[in-house]
Chains A and B, each alone.
Chain A
Amino acid sequence: MAEGIRIENLIKTYGSGDTAVHALRGVNMSVAKGEVVGLIGPSGSGKSTLLKCLGAVIEPTSGRMTIGDRVIYDDGWKVGDLRALRRDLIGFIFQAPYLIPFLDVTDNVALLPMLAGKSNAQARKEARKLLEALDVAHRAAAMPSQLSGGEQQRVAIARALVNRPPVILADEPTAPLDSVRALAVVDLLNTMARQFETAIIIVTHDEKIIPTFRRLYNIRDGVTVEEAPAGSPGPDDAGKS
């Protein structure tokens, strides 16, 4: 499979001298297009810092990161517009849906293509298509407060996918859900990853979903180790949970 995102020897140090904090000490990971991987790690392991680097929220101190063929960071590079990178290349799914409460479902999803410069009509057309794919088109005119938790999460997934980003970062997307719903969300993300050829990284503590990952990165003390999840399905079963 073609490569979605790759990071090599990513280092992030906060501060300098005696007070320097080495949050990431040389992280390596890669996720292919259409693949869903898990990222786990205890508190203070550097997980949040890695997520911020992957999400182009902060710049690493050194290392290399590519999304598809595009080099995002390289040693000595100064990234110009992180905001545009996030808008065009990365989708986000949060622990809570965090939909914009004053926009209806369609506009919550259409906002991203609008920000990318598409016309309102075109953006809404794309949003509705995605809402249909995620089976929430019937709530297109509803406000977020009128949706159930599951519907809100689907709309959040639609928002993450609407600009067809090569990478989606999902931060604890199943934390507030019971087992059945949590597994359903992971199943949906697997389907979407394949359908839209998107690399999805799910940051999680959720024991219920860890076995579903084909590949799992564990981060400890700022270094990632790839490991096979205990009781995980074989490669052929990935995403079919």
Chain B
Amino acid sequence: MISLAGRDILHGWGKFVLTGVGLGLLIGVTLSMAGVYRGMIDDAQALLDNSGADLWVVQKDTLGPYAEPSSLNEDTERPIRAMAGVDRAAGVTYLTMQIAHQGKDVRVMVVGAEFAQPGEPGQPPHLIAGRRIVQAHYEAVADVKTGFAIGDQVKVRRNTFRIVGLTSRMVSSGGDPMLFLSLKDAQEAQFEKDSDAIVRQRARTASSPVLNPPGNPAVLEAVNAAQAGSTNVNAVLVTVAAGSDPDAVAAAIRRWQRVTVYTRAQMEEILVDKMIANSARQIGMFLVILAIVSAAIVAFIIYTMTIGKIREIAVLKLIGTRNRTIAGMILQQALGLGLIGFAVGKIAASFWAPFFPKYVLLLPADSVRGFLAVMAICALASLLAIHAALKVDPAEAIGG
């Protein structure tokens, strides 16, 4: 038996392909939305993977350092480092800010990490160009997505930093590329006050007889010095020793250090289930709406194509064509439209994904799921047309 659907498609292939392309662009948008969601999850996981930590020690009862503000004294790391099962511990700071570069503002996450020893948690795990930070001040390593190049000078707050190394896939959970500074530089950038604020603070301190006791200027100097800098970090990243159980180490730190400690699984839950949850629901809603719109479009197209063939369908029924052959013809056309649409959508999504400002991750498994969903939607959408075709009275062919 010849394929009636195939012949009909070939007969009006131009119209069919154009319709498929239109549907494909819609499917491309749908796949891209799924890719945006996957990209957000991947960014979150990259953030955790690239931090090199097994445990995140943060201010007690906070979801820091990524989901909530968290502040710890940098000295917190010392007793942790001495605890059983801890291999390394290092303080880190995170600050999202805009940096002017070559006339444009670049949104980055400034990360302060300890660079005295290679391999400390918080450092970028790999470089794609240049070298790591070796000086105590004014050197930076940037993610390639910032657009910075080796040797570029970038200004963070009042200080200028020279880019000495480039890394990749080092992004915040929001997809902002990272700029690594030494911990001291980052602390200064994060906690320093502007000149006016310092002047006002010093005047207020000097006016206080408690902080500026008469005849003892050394007290005022000491207070001003204490107020000038910050020794706080947002979190202490911990790697556990080989063979140690991260949960047990986390429990020990919680018990002794009056801090909150998250394991990798818990931090992933915070990032994915809490921070991304609303965005995921938003994207999910879009996916549902796009699926409904796609189904409506396919249903409308297939229904219109079928209604345009009522006389032919009546003739086919009159000469003895089975209902299932006619239903199969319509179903195959709907699936054909879905196939063309999916192919166009997949190509379109792959083509425009790199142009998105945030990472769009098109997973093969999502493509397979998308393909099956498109086929299912097309099959469902064809039901209306099949119903209309099966209701056609063969008598219509003989003028009755």
Contact = CB atoms under 8 A, between A and B. Distances in A.
Interface of A: 48-49, 51-52, 55, 57-58, 83-84, 86-88, 92, 94-95, 98, 100-103, 107, 110-112, 114-116, 120, 143, 159, 169, 171-172
B400 A83 contact: no
Contacts of B400: 48-49, 51-52, 57
B393 to A, nearest CB: 8
9 contacts: A48-B398, A88-B320, A94-B399, A98-B311, A98-B397, A100-B312, A112-B320, A120-B2, A171-B399
B318 interface: yes
Interface in B1-34: 1-2, 4, 7-8, 10-12
A102 B1 contact: no
Nearest to A112: B319
B321 interface: yes
B319 A94 contact: no
Given A107-B2, A114-B1, A102 B320 contact: no
A87 B398 CA distance: 15
B320 A84 contact: yes
B319 A107 contact: no
Contact of A115 (B11, B315, B321): B321
Nearest to A82: B394
A182 B271 CA distance: 82
Given A98-B397, A101-B11, A111 B2 contact: yes
A157 B11 CA distance: 23
Interface in B385-400: 393-395, 397-400
Given A102-B12, A120-B2, A51 B316 contact: no
Contacts of A48: 398-400
Given A48-B400, A102-B7, A102-B12, A58 B395 contact: yes
Given A100-B312, A103-B7, A112-B319, A55 B398 contact: yes
B322 A83 contact: yes
- 3 A-B pairs closest in CB distance: A87-B320, A102-B11, A102-B8
B325 interface: yes
Interface of B: 1-2, 4, 7-8, 10-12, 311-312, 315-322, 325, 393-395, 397-400
A158 to B, nearest CB: 13
Contacts of A51: 398, 400
A98 B7 contact: no
Contact of A111 (B319, B322, B393, B397): B319
A120 B320 contact: no
B320 A115 contact: yes
Given A55-B398, A57-B318, A102-B10, A115 B2 contact: no
Nearest to B8: A102
B51 to A, nearest CB: 61
A87 B295 CA distance: 36
Contacts of B2: 103, 107, 110-111, 114, 120
Contacts of B319: 86-87, 92, 111-112, 115, 159
Nearest to A88: B320
A98 B312 contact: yes
B1 A57 contact: no
Nearest to B1: A114
A55 B318 contact: yes
Contacts of A95: 399
B324 to A, nearest CB: 11
Contacts of A116: 320
Contacts of A103: 2, 4, 7
B398 A94 contact: yes
B323 to A, nearest CB: 8
Contacts of A102: 4, 7-8, 10-12
